[in-house]
Amino acid sequence: MKLPGTPERLTAGSVLKEIAKIIAFCLSDGCVSRRNASKGGQAFTIEFFNKDKCLHEIFSQSFIKTFGVFPTLLPAKRTLCSLIHSREITLHLLRLCNSFRTRACNSHPICPVWNGKSTFHKEVSLGCGHPLLLQQIKILTEKVLNIPVKEKKNGIRLSKTESIRRFKEKIGFVKGCKVHRGKFKGLEKNFVLSCAIENTLPAGREPCES
């Protein structure tokens, strides 16, 4: 399917790579939805929520390269939102991934899974409420990347120094992303990972509670 505005200069492999990025962003902190509009008809929206502008820039570049569309960056409650209204792109993404819902909900529509939280407390925790996605994350870390993890409620965690070292080397965080709450607020996430590996605290930071 060729979408309106799709740049012709990209190869098929390049387009797939950028679409993979978009899907990853939407699954982690976004939403791709087709729902009834208040004035009748249907609303088709793609949204990505995050506090880090560098992630929004990557998200926007992927959209421009793939679809020729520039997302609108808007302030949202305690965060930022990149927003796209497009019927064609929404339906295209939903054909590739029929659901972008990753957290549970006990109201309509009922979902049988529970949502989790992601925290860093002298460990790396990856939270996800969807059991199938959680299983895929576990397979990726243990079987593909050879990073041993421990299961916890609604997620997995890495607490051993060697596991955190492998996580930083093979996965890590997007360069420039910072911690937005807690004792390490304002510090770059990859820097905090290095501190955890070296067992040293950043200057001026109090030790974590045990």
Domain residue limits, the chain: 12-96, 103-210
Residue count of the chain: 210
β-sheet bridge partners, residue 48: 30, 82
Determine the pLDDT at residue 113.
39
Whole-angstrom Cα distance, residue 195 to residue 149?
A: 20
Q: Quickly state the pLDDT bin for 155 (edges 50, 70, 90).
A: confident
Whole-angstrom Cα distance, residue 210 to residue 121?
A: 9
Whole-angstrom Cα distance, residue 122 to residue 197?
A: 9
Q: Give tens-digit pLDDT for 57-99.
A: 999 999 999 999 899 999 988 899 999 999 999 989 988 887 7
77 is written with which tokens?
A: 């409650």
Determine the pLDDT at residue 103.
58
45 is written with which tokens?
A: 């929206």
Out of 3.40.50.300, 1.10.1740.10, 3.10.28.10, 3.60.21.10, select the CATH number for domain 12-96.
3.10.28.10
Please report, as a single letter, which amino acid is at residue 160.
Answer: K
Long-range contacts of 55-63 (CB under 8 A, 24+ apart): 55/25, 55/174, 55/177, 56/80, 56/82, 58/21, 58/25, 58/174, 59/21, 59/22, 59/25, 62/18, 62/19, 62/21, 62/22, 62/25, 63/22
Please report, as a single letter, which amino acid is at residue 203.
Answer: A
Whole-angstrom Cα distance, residue 152 to residue 141?
A: 15
pTM score above 0.75 = no
